[in-house]
Amino acid sequence: MSKKILIIGGGINGAGMARDATMRGFDVTLFDKGDFCSGTSWTSSKLIHGGLRYLEHFEFGLVRESLREREILLRISPHNVHSLDLTIPVYKHSPHALMTLRAGLTAYDVLSYDKSLPNHVVLNVNDIAQKFPAMNRENLLGGLSYSDCQCPFPERLVLNNLQSAVRHGAKIFNYHRVTEICKEHDRVTGLHVKNLLTNEEFIFNADMVINAAGPWVDEVLQLKSPDERLIGGTKGSHIVVKKFDSSMSSAIYVNAKSDGRPFFILPWQDEYLLIGTTDIRFEGDLETLRPDVKEIDYLLAEFNELFPSVKLNRSSILFSFSGVRPLPYTREDAPSAITRKHFIIDHAERDDLRGLVSLVGGKLTTYRQASEEMIDFVAERLGKSSPCRTTEEPLPGGDLEDIESYRRAEFIRIPAQLKISERSFFHLINLYGSEYQKIIELCMATPELCDTVCPHVPDIKAQLVYAAQNEWAVTLNDIMFRRTSAGLGECVGLCNLDATAELIGRILKWNDSKLTNEKNVYRNYVEKNLANHRHV
Ligand SMILES: Cc1cc2nc3c(=O)[nH]c(=O)nc-3n(C[C@H](O)[C@H](O)[C@H](O)COP(=O)(O)OP(=O)(O)OC[C@H]3O[C@@H](n4cnc5c(N)ncnc54)[C@H](O)[C@@H]3O)c2cc1C
Same domain, 344 and 278: no
Amino acid at 122: V
Q: Is 217 helix (H, G, I), strand (E, B) or coil?
A: helix
Residue 486 near residue 464 (C-beta atoms within 8 A): yes
278 assigned to some structural domain? yes
Ligand 1 pocket check for 324: Cβ under 6 Å: yes
Tally of CA atoms within 13 A in the half-sphere of 64 that contains its CB: 8
Q: Whole-number mean pLDDT of the chain?
A: 94
In a domain, 176, yes or no: yes
Residue 92, C-beta contacts closer than 8 angstroms, at least 6 positions apart: 139, 141
Could you tell me if 284 and 239 lie in one domain? Answer: yes
Query: In terms of domains, do 172 and 321 share one?
Result: no
**45 CB near ligand 1 (under 6 Å):** yes
Pocket test for ligand 1, best of 265, 363, 371, 478 (most atoms within 8 A of CB): 363
What whole-number distance in Å separates Cα of residue 316 and Cα of residue 313?
Answer: 5
Per-residue confidence (pLDDT) for residue 533, from 0 to 100: 52
CATH number at residue 430: 1.10.8.870
**Residue 356 belongs to domain with CATH number:** 3.50.50.60
pLDDT at 359 over 60: yes
Q: What pLDDT was estimated at residue 535?
A: 40
Per-residue pLDDT tens digits for 248-299: 999 999 999 999 999 999 999 989 999 999 999 998 899 989 999 999 999 9
296 located within any domain:
yes
Strand partners of residue 53: none
Per-residue model confidence (pLDDT) at position 531: 63
Residue type, 433: G
Q: Which domain holds residue 477?
A: 403-535
Note whether residue 238 is domain-resident: yes
Phi and psi at 396, nearest 5°, equal -50, 130
Predicted interface score ipTM higher than 0.85: yes
Is the minimum distance from the CB of 33 to ligand 1 under 6 angstroms?
A: yes
DSSP class of residue 165?
A: H
One domain for residues 14 and 62: no
CB of 13 closer than 6 angstroms to any ligand 1 atom: yes
For residue range 430-481, list pLDDT tens digits in order: 999 999 999 999 999 999 999 999 999 999 999 999 999 999 999 999 999 9
